[in-house]
Copies of this chain bind each other. A is one copy, B any other.
Amino acid sequence: MRTHAQHELTKNQALVFGSLSEAGGPLTAYAILDLLREDGFRAPLQVYRALDKLVEFGIVHRLESLNAFVACSHKDCTGHGSAAFAICEKCGDVREFTPDDAVRLLKDWTESQGFALARTTIELRGTCKDCVASG
């Protein structure tokens, strides 16, 4: 696949990012650790250190309300705005989207308060279309 080549990931970073990409959904750090034991991972720090960098690069997002991590769903992560996530509490599916208008309003509020916004966490919990239909 060779996506995100712009970052020249290290071995551990590539393994962690690969796990998340292949999973296609959120994984906890310890779930990643278990997946990567066959690749020689032994300790949580190996995962957390890689995750820190991947989040810094913007190609992995942390889901605060799940204590989990997910690969960015954009083909090319350079320069997109703040991400938001719709999390289905039935099936665990996570949909990433970029609510620029809503973020603009939030940023307007912070500016009116003199608050220097660094980053946003927007996570929506509920039930996805498929799970609503099936039950």
Contacts and interface: CB of A to CB of B under 8 A. Distances in A.
Given A105-B101, A132-B114, A121 B89 contact: no
A119 interface: yes
Contacts of A133: 114
Interface string A102-129: 1101100110011111111111111111
- Which of A65, A110, A119 has the most chain B CB atoms closer than 10 A to its own CB? A110
Contact of A115 (B103, B117, B129): B129
A30 interface: no
Interface of A: 64-65, 84, 86, 88-89, 95, 97, 99, 101-103, 105-106, 109-110, 113-129, 132-133
